[in-house]
Amino acid sequence: MMKGFCTQVEDDGKSSFVPNQRRTIRDVAAVAGVSISTASNALNDTGRINAKTRERVRLVAKEIGFRPSAVARSLLSRRSHSIGILTNDTYGRLTLPLAAGVSEVLLDHGVSAFLCPTSNDPRLAQLYLEALLDKQVDGLIFTGTRLDLQPPEILADLPIPVVHAFSEGPPDRVSFVPDDEQGARLAVEHLQSRGYRRIVHVTGQSNYLAARRRADGFRTLVGSDAEVLFGDWTEEWGHEAVGLLFARPGPRAQAIFCGSDEIARGVIDALRDRGVDVPANMAVIGFDNWEVVARQTRPPLTTIDMELNILGRKAGEAILALTRGDHVRPGVFRLPCSLVSRASCGIRM
């Protein structure tokens, strides 16, 4: 079909119509045999134009792959229908599920997202932001790798709306974060409902807001004197923590609630090294639902999912509303986590 058109035009000698090049209104006009202004009127439903001609022009435009320029439209609307996602995540573990949620929402509105991986480098962040503003993005989503990481200073005063996702922005902005306390309570409730009593919490560094919040959620249900072992976000710390728990006298814990799946993996491996059966002798629950880790522990890990895709969708909806000029209530919104049950928590007899 397209070939036919090309040949026809070249035969006419009217146009230097080259296949596989971006089509312009000029190409449409040449192929349809009308003036550029007629072609434009036909495509934009402006001016007076014969219905048949309009149909023909539209058909030609479709056949040769002409697209009305979003660029030209955005000049008129002063909206570029694009936003930027600025992330300091280098491994993509958090960013991609989140960005996928954002993009899915934007896609329905013809808005696309520029991805800007800053690798935590303020100079890179600055350069990306310059490029985004230069492209007149309608808004920006900032996503961090930890909630309490200070967003780049350059985000403070921008001429476009900014939404924070997995990052807590200032109170006059909209921020979406997982509800870490609720997630922790969900984990503890799951253990308690299955009959586990002496529950210990092994988690990451206490200078992480997420670690402290999860610990708070844990203590709410287990008691304010409940034991929390802060350490690192690593498997190694999981091993070490089990070493500490087993080295001391007194009644042993029945379950370990871990602050991350990686810690849980270390804990499970260390328990196996000691011949402790999970879940028969001890239950272990993680946090993250990072599938590559959680699915491959032995046994597979029951864990808390931060629902990053939903978080991304919420951030996408908020930035869309803001770029349309709609009011969005500012503040930090904590979104509920969910529990993914696998095999590391049994039922305590």
Instruction: Give the interface with a second copy as residue ranges (CB under 8 A).
Output: 20-24, 65, 67, 69-72, 74-75, 78, 80-82, 84-85, 89-93, 95-97, 99-100, 103-104, 107, 110-117, 119, 124, 127-128, 131-136, 157-160, 234-236, 262, 265-266, 269, 291-293, 296, 298
Closer Cβ to a second copy, 168 or 262, answer by number: 262
Closer Cβ to a second copy, 110 or 250, answer by number: 110
Closer Cβ to a second copy, 167 or 182, answer by number: 167
Q: Residue 325 CB, nearest distance to a second copy (Å)? A: 11
Q: Residue 270 CB, nearest distance to a second copy (Å)? A: 10
Q: Residue 51 CB, nearest distance to a second copy (Å)? A: 26
Three-class SS of residue 243? helix
Is the distance from CB of 339 to CB of 185 less than 8 angstroms?
no
Instruction: Name beta bridge partners: 85.
Output: 115, 141
Closer Cβ to a second copy, 70 or 209, answer by number: 70
Q: Residue 182 CB, nearest distance to a second copy (Å)? A: 25
The C-alpha atoms of residue 290 and residue 96 are separated, in whole angstroms, by 12
Task: Provide the 8-state DSSP code for 154.
Answer: G
- Closest CA relative to residue 228, chosen from 261, 206, 260: 206
Q: Residue 348 CB, nearest distance to a second copy (Å)? A: 26
Buried b (16+ CB within 10 A) or exposed e, 103-136: bebbeeeebebeebbbeeeeebbeebbeebeeee
- How do strand 338-340 and strand 302-305 relate by DSSP bridges? antiparallel
- Closest CA relative to residue 168, chosen from 303, 30, 332: 332
Closer Cβ to a second copy, 199 or 293, answer by number: 293
DSSP secondary structure string for all residues of 196-227:
--SEEEEES-TTSHHHHHHHHHHHHHH-TT--
Q: Residue 21 CB, nearest distance to a second copy (Å)? A: 6
Closer Cβ to a second copy, 181 or 235, answer by number: 235
Q: Residue 338 CB, nearest distance to a second copy (Å)? A: 18
Q: Residue 343 CB, nearest distance to a second copy (Å)? A: 14
Closer Cβ to a second copy, 49 or 124, answer by number: 124
Closer Cβ to a second copy, 132 or 222, answer by number: 132
Is the distance from CB of 139 to CB of 110 less than 8 angstroms?
no
Q: Residue 23 CB, nearest distance to a second copy (Å)? A: 7
The C-alpha atoms of residue 185 and residue 178 are separated, in whole angstroms, by 13
Closer Cβ to a second copy, 50 or 296, answer by number: 296
Interacting residues of 149 by C-beta distance below 8 A, sequence separation 6+: 88, 167
- Closest CA relative to residue 141, chosen from 178, 109, 98: 98
Tell me the two tokens of residue 298.
Answer: 């032995």
Alpha helices in 13-137 (DSSP H): 25-32, 36-44, 51-64, 70-77, 95-107, 122-134
Instruction: Name beta bridge partners: 288.
Output: 305
